[in-house]
Structure 1
């Protein structure tokens, strides 16, 4: 059975998509860009918090790190992939 969070998320995505399709022409380009930047920053913070939650652990009254090389490898691999597909120019200029 689906959890309540899954159901609410599904409804929110469908409602947000409908609103976006309906108001697409009515939203200024500057506001669209600001909203995309805000969503990007929120996604970065969510990703960082999830990563740090798995990396930093308290054991025996001390902070221990785990998976720091995986984090570095993931960032390098993501950067290389983004450069290969020219992600920055595609997102920045809408090409």
Structure 2
């Protein structure tokens, strides 16, 4: 778990540094940083979609996943539940920044393959690389949204911990096709967060989170039935 611990630590340290910088930044500068974060999220989301969609063997799956996942998320009202939890710890627009941080830190391939590689082979290269990227990202996010971005480290710990402790039993399920489909959907969700941050359209991004589970169910069932 050393790689995951390092990864989470860099996020916390980055959040502290970023929130410290925030205190000395004028409102106009904070506004431009927020715009920068929105544009960056859109760029990262589009990059993930463009990179992985051409390789998809099921080009319609991400559309179906978003539709079904969105309905499930809306039924569970995940967006409002998330905002209520965040509001207990902070005020303002932290929920937007925190949801973006969670997606950026957890939806990437490195955060899935990293803990599995660490558990099975003791190789923390993916996680150390991810730690550097997340640390820098957390500095920028915290300089815009505040110290609350550090809470995303706890989510990341649970996320990577899940893959780490169940590495042996889930390795066969984490196929290139599954990672590909999850990366496409993750890209769409990050893009959605970017649109919300910029105020172009307030998206219920958290309600779309269950979409990440649909490819897992589809590919697992298809494999069991011999369709793949």
TM-score, normalised relative to structure 2: 0.25
Question: Which entry has the higher C-alpha Rg, 1 or 2?
Answer: 1
Higher helix share: 2
